[in-house]
Structure 1
Amino acid sequence: MDDLLEEMGWEIVCEESFSYPGKRSRLNNHEDVCLILNRNSETDAVKGIVLDMSKIKDIEINSESFEKLYNLRFLKFYYQTQCSGHSMCIPKVHAPHGLKYLPDELRSLHWYGYPLTTLPTDFSLENLVELNLPYSNLEQLWEGIKVAPRLKLLILSHSQNLTSLSDLSFSPCLEVINLEDCISLSEIPSSIQHLDHLYFLSLRGCESLMSIPSSIRSLRSLYHLNLSNCSKLDKLPENLRNIVSLKYLFLNNCSLKEIPEIGCLSSLEVLELCGNSFEHLPTSIEQLSELKSLLLNNCSMLKSLTKLPSGLQSLEAMNCKQLQSLPDTSLVVTQCFIKEYERAFPVSICLPGSVIPDWFDYQRIGSLITIRLPRDNRKLVGFALCTVIAFEKYCDDGHGVRVGFKNHYSDTVDFCGSLTVCDTQKHNHTISINSDHIVQGYYPFSNATGFLSVEFYPQNFDGQPLANCKVKNCALCPLYAEELTETKKFSDETDTSGSRSSRFDDEEMDPHPKIIAERKLTLLIDNKVVPFYCTFGNKVGLLLFYSWCFIFCLLCGIFVVGLLGFLVLHLSTRCEIYLSSHVQNMHGRLFK
């Protein structure tokens, strides 16, 4: 339908002038565009030129081609179809003699493979809103300072000759800057601090970039920051607390030896740190209450991973060979379960190791496990799942890795899903795996009764089985939510080092755990009770709670004291009136 509407629109434009294209408002035909650009005839009718280079042969324009297109507002030389490689998207609009002029009325300039090393000197940017020059020959945008008061979009991706970014102090409306794969770019100007509306900044693949200016901390609107594959970047600016809107931070395959304190990034949801050289994460990472996804694959120097945010839903730490201190994944699963209980959000955790934690009471060797559920299963809300995957010289081909699972008796109970191991399709990095890994997660499910038999199987994100991956062990742990009166603490801690022996038994779970004392919302893991306030509340939350309690009690106290004062004053007044009246009566009787 869209193609038909577009075709009909171009037919209407052609009706403006059948004989001479210079009298049409828009041009998209190869021959018409060549005629107008090479004839240099004066025309003020043309306002837009759109040319799909996948449908044309090479054309050459002269240095004065745009000099008489006074009202040109939209210029687009592009490829409509997505190119699989640079070689298939060869620029086809050439300017061998340079360009002396671009129209000052231009709002949008989109030129794939812009052929010159800079923009024309006399080109005014007063009206420009979009500057999109991917795969260009630019070495710099312009010399000195240019005023671009309306510019919002700046895309120079894959411009391999670009060595520096021009001063952007007078482009206050910029919202998007894309400099991906500008491999010669060595620095970012400090003037970036003036871009108060910038929300997207991508420097992915800028191999020569060695540092980020500290002025980046002033970008309060920044929402997405990608510095992945900046292989010479070994340090980040300290004190990023002013980037309060940042939600996506990608730092894969840099040379970072230390991660600065990032607990101040209160809006952060996705953090990727794969392929770096740091030994531990900052303790402040625990404060990132909105963090949903954390990727640490191929961090070969990482030794400790203990403190994790309470809302984490996906954790990948593939090939972290020196990782020794692991997080208590039971708390991660229960925290995620409680935080996402109403929305029933799945959770995935992938860590190096070969022993299933002891808090999984139902474990089996192999890929199939069968358990017997209690008769009264109305409080069942889901399952904690765990597998040990053996990777035998496995190299991901870009299709990702996940562990699928399904109910063996699928004709009676619908129970199926998957746990993410490594999603290279989504995160654009390949990975080689040579050791066993533990994959854990939570999956929401209810209304299961009797026997439950679940099978696990490795596959890619296209659903194809993986021949070099095998499930060694698997485990299940039913999760229950209930209003209970005991706050018995979780006694069995996770031990991924294998200090306790695994249990492989088929005994039935006790459907009625022991309960005593006060009422609290709790989560049951098998027979164990995890109190709601332990997993959901943090120190700040408790402090706020106690503060409100104190304020409430103080106000109640003030109210009670005031009420008592009012009653005392009222009673004293009544007593005074009564005594005065009584004295007068006595006085009258004495004189009668």
Structure 2
Amino acid sequence: MHDLIQEMGLNIVKENQLNYPEKLDPEKHYPAKHSRFWEEKDVRSIWAMDATKELDKIEAISVKSYMYASLPSQNHQVLANMKNLRWIDWTGGHGGSLPRNFPPGELHCLILRGGQQRQLWKGYKFLPSLKMIKLQAMDNLITTPNFRGLPNLERFMLFDTWNIKEIHSSIEGLERLGYLSVEYCNNFKMFPPTNVIKKLDSLIISNCRKLSNCWKKDNLFEQYSTNIFVTCMPCCCGKGHADKPSNDVEEPFLIHKGMDHVGLQFISRRLRKLILRQCNFRDEDIDYDVWDLPNLQELDLSLNLFSRLNFSILKVPRLKWLDVSECKSLVELSGFPSSISSIRADWCDSLKTVGDTSNCRWLWNVSFYGRNIGVSARCGDMVLQSLLEGNAIEDHFISFTHSAGHHIPNRFVDRLVIGKKCTLQLPPNWYNDYSGFLICNANNYYALSFMISMKQDLDTDFRSEVCQESDEASNESYFNSTYIGYVSFNSLIRHGARLNPAYNMISFSIDATYETSYEGESRFVAELIPRKSKDHVAQTTKVTPDCSHFYDEEREFGKTFTIQRHSESSIKILWRPCYWY
């Protein structure tokens, strides 16, 4: 759950409790009708109770070790009395083991951090409601529970639990398990076969230094058609055998040979999302013959060591989203499939050659953020031209970041002015003759995000030319990065906002959030972009077009463009050209 969503939920519960205040029950010493507890004073009152008192009203509780000073036996008895508990997040102070009659049968979510248990519970427990288990920093834990009594478990996570060596083989029988994560478990050695977990669609393995691939089965790897994506870190690589296929993680999993450098094998043709971040892949590790992935849409190869990536050789005809950021040895990136919509090559210090993108009609998001000084101005101009000639110009947004020293795209040379504001006088029929606004900002500090403000107005002294806040010439200056954004009129309508065709003047301002606390010198300009043809007009009552080809999915830190606020005469847009930094 995202922290903001969790905070919102806590505030809703707190507001509800404030609206319906209640004194402590004289028998129970906690609000009798309240069912969720996370604040220290409330948790302390519960842990200080007589251990024989029933706590059957409690459904959710978050406990930190500093909230109580009772002995483990007292803790266990208090827990055992919460017979209707559905959610618990318990940090520290668990003692050597959980009580025999815990967890209760109604529990949905179990989160334990920093406990001292060697095992969660002994033998078999039937917990039909349990859907999520997360175990973090459990230093003494040596085994996972028997999963046979957890038929509805959907998510199982191990994090920073050093002494655990394997997952109980009964996990194979979980028919609803969709998410399995093992991270920073330094002594973890063995996985059970996962090919029989029919609904598994997310598998994350990272920083498991002793993980081996001895857990093999003779099953064919194509038994099931799940859509697993994997995050592999350098230390989780097993040693493979060139003459024998590995079934370490069955279909669909990309098996690589780690430090042996003998290539990649058995990538599922059904895979849609593949994350292979920081796997130490070099040129010799990428066997082009095995890249036959007709359904792959998202590929993350960031933080690897290869020098060239040519997609005219790889068979990925449906690829939409590519990230090769921080591949420090990458020199050439070429042969993009026509389906591509987003390319990120941030902080690729050696990158010099970027292939032709003129056939990439769905391309809308390109980022060469960071010290990509090898990407020339000519290359930047060609990519920008492809973006402006593609399908995004009518119905979507465009984001282009080019960090190549002093290089400014040709169309903006001698047009950028000092400042963060400019005003456009709009020509007659502008809403039908043009498709959207293109803005350009150049500055000498790396910007992480921008707030674009647009305000419309009427001007009776009509002039068709561009009026800018400052007419000061753009003297020679060094700029780390150039940021180019485009907002189509149709994209605004699709997100519930709309410009008013009756106005003939619009003012732009742009405020940046920088990577450092220093605010760089900023140059700025905005312009209207003509429609590609008279057949393309602004949407009014038309059906909204299908924009799924742009693959503008929600990312960890939000969309690239987000409409923050809009009214009849003004719109604010949050633009994150570098969302993951």
- Residue 218 of structure 1: CA displacement? 1.5
In the other structure, the counterpart of 1:52 is: 89
In the other structure, the counterpart of 2:111 is: 78
In the other structure, the counterpart of 1:553 is: none
Which secondary structure does the structure 2 equivalent of 1:440 belong to? strand
- Residue 296 of structure 1: CA displacement? 0.5
State percent identity of aligned pairs: 11
Give yes or no for the alignment of 1:438 onto 2:482.
yes
- Note closer, same or farther for the CA distance 1:334–1:164 as it changes in structure 2 (3 Å cut): same
In the other structure, the counterpart of 2:375 is: 323
- Residue 183 of structure 1: CA displacement? 5.6
Give yes or no for the alignment of 1:297 onto 2:373.
no
Q: Matched residues in 2 for 1:2 and 1:266: separation?
A: 48
- Matched AA of 2:361: S
Kept in 2: contact 1:296–1:316 (CA 8 A): yes
Kept in 2: contact 1:253–1:273 (CA 8 A): yes
Kept in 2: contact 1:145–1:167 (CA 8 A): no
Q: Deviations over 1:373-418 (max 9, x none)?
A: 6456452333333343334xxxx6xxx52456667997969x9xxx
Q: Matched residues in 1 for 2:88 and 2:396: separation?
A: 48
Q: Matched residues in 1 for 2:56 and 2:506: separation?
A: 74
Q: Matched residues in 2 for 1:146 and 1:479: separation?
A: 56
- After the TM superposition, which of the residue ranges 312-321 and 69-78 deviates more from structure 2? 69-78
Give yes or no for the alignment of 1:259 onto 2:309.
yes
- Note closer, same or farther for the CA distance 1:207–1:260 as it changes in structure 2 (3 Å cut): farther
Q: Matched residues in 2 for 1:5 and 1:406: separation?
A: 36
- Residue 372 of structure 1: CA displacement? 6.2
Kept in 1: contact 2:119–2:144 (CA 8 A): no
Kept in 2: contact 1:156–1:180 (CA 8 A): yes
- Residue 142 of structure 1: CA displacement? 3.5
- Matched AA of 1:175: D
Which secondary structure does the structure 2 equivalent of 1:133 belong to? strand
Match of 1:134 among 159, 165, 190: 159
Kept in 2: contact 1:236–1:259 (CA 8 A): no
Kept in 2: contact 1:356–1:387 (CA 8 A): no
In the other structure, the counterpart of 2:191 is: 165
- Matched AA of 2:229: L
In the other structure, the counterpart of 2:229 is: 201
- Note closer, same or farther for the CA distance 1:460–1:205 as it changes in structure 2 (3 Å cut): farther
Match of 2:182 among 151, 156, 165: 156
* Larger helix proportion of the pair: 1
Which secondary structure does the structure 2 equivalent of 1:297 belong to? coil
Match of 1:307 among 334, 356, 363: 356
- Residue 275 of structure 1: CA displacement? 0.9
Matches for 1:135-284 after TM superposition, within 5 Å: 135-142=160-167, 147-150=172-175, 151-182=177-208, 185=211, 193=221, 196=224, 198-199=226-227, 201-203=229-231, 205-209=233-237, 212-213=254-255, 214=264, 217-218=267-268, 220=270, 222-231=271-280, 235-236=285-286, 238=288, 239-242=290-293, 244=295, 246-259=296-309, 261=311, 264-276=315-327, 277-283=329-335
In the other structure, the counterpart of 1:588 is: none
- Residue 60 of structure 1: CA displacement? 1.3
Which secondary structure does the structure 1 equivalent of 2:125 belong to? coil
**Aligned-residue RMSD, C-alpha:** 5.1
In the other structure, the counterpart of 1:113 is: 137
Kept in 2: contact 1:59–1:93 (CA 8 A): yes
In the other structure, the counterpart of 1:480 is: 530
Q: Matched residues in 1 for 2:14 and 2:232: separation?
A: 34
Kept in 1: contact 2:393–2:488 (CA 8 A): no
- Residue 476 of structure 1: CA displacement? 4.4
Alignment TM-score, normalising by the size of structure 2? 0.58
Instruction: Point out the structure with max Rg over C-alpha.
Output: 1
- Matched AA of 2:513: N
- Residue 295 of structure 1: CA displacement? 1.1
In the other structure, the counterpart of 2:442 is: 388
Q: Matched residues in 1 for 2:428 and 2:182: separation?
A: 63
Q: Matched residues in 2 for 1:377 and 1:132: separation?
A: 55
Kept in 2: contact 1:184–1:206 (CA 8 A): no
- Matched AA of 2:162: N
What number of residue pairs does the alignment pair up? 432
- Note closer, same or farther for the CA distance 1:73–1:261 as it changes in structure 2 (3 Å cut): farther
- Matched AA of 1:478: L
Kept in 2: contact 1:102–1:120 (CA 8 A): no
- After the TM superposition, which of the residue ranges 255-264 and 305-314 deviates more from structure 2? 255-264
- Residue 70 of structure 1: CA displacement? 10
Which secondary structure does the structure 1 equivalent of 2:385 belong to? helix
In the other structure, the counterpart of 1:488 is: none
Which secondary structure does the structure 2 equivalent of 1:334 belong to? helix
Q: Matched residues in 2 for 1:407 and 1:483: separation?
A: 26
- Matched AA of 1:326: C
Q: Matched residues in 2 for 1:475 and 1:29: separation?
A: 51
Kept in 1: contact 2:196–2:224 (CA 8 A): no
Kept in 2: contact 1:21–1:27 (CA 8 A): no
Q: Matched residues in 2 for 1:371 and 1:34: separation?
A: 70
Which secondary structure does the structure 1 equivalent of 2:162 belong to? coil
- Residue 257 of structure 1: CA displacement? 3.0
Matches for 1:368-379 after TM superposition, within 5 Å: 374=427, 377=430, 379=433
- Note closer, same or farther for the CA distance 1:333–1:51 as it changes in structure 2 (3 Å cut): closer
Q: Matched residues in 2 for 1:143 and 1:195: separation?
A: 22
Kept in 1: contact 2:232–2:277 (CA 8 A): yes
- Matched AA of 1:134: F
- Residue 317 of structure 1: CA displacement? 0.6
Kept in 1: contact 2:166–2:191 (CA 8 A): yes
- Note closer, same or farther for the CA distance 1:287–1:22 as it changes in structure 2 (3 Å cut): same
Give yes or no for the alignment of 1:470 onto 2:510.
no
Q: Matched residues in 1 for 2:62 and 2:485: separation?
A: 55
In the other structure, the counterpart of 2:404 is: 352
- Residue 305 of structure 1: CA displacement? 1.4
- Note closer, same or farther for the CA distance 1:112–1:454 as it changes in structure 2 (3 Å cut): closer
Matches for 1:510-529 after TM superposition, within 5 Å: none
- Residue 307 of structure 1: CA displacement? 1.8
Q: Deviations over 1:430-454 (max 9, x none)?
A: xxxx963333232336759878776
Q: Matched residues in 2 for 1:243 and 1:279: separation?
A: 26
In the other structure, the counterpart of 1:101 is: 123
Q: Matched residues in 1 for 2:297 and 2:319: separation?
A: 4
Kept in 2: contact 1:362–1:475 (CA 8 A): no
Alignment TM-score, normalising by the size of structure 1? 0.57
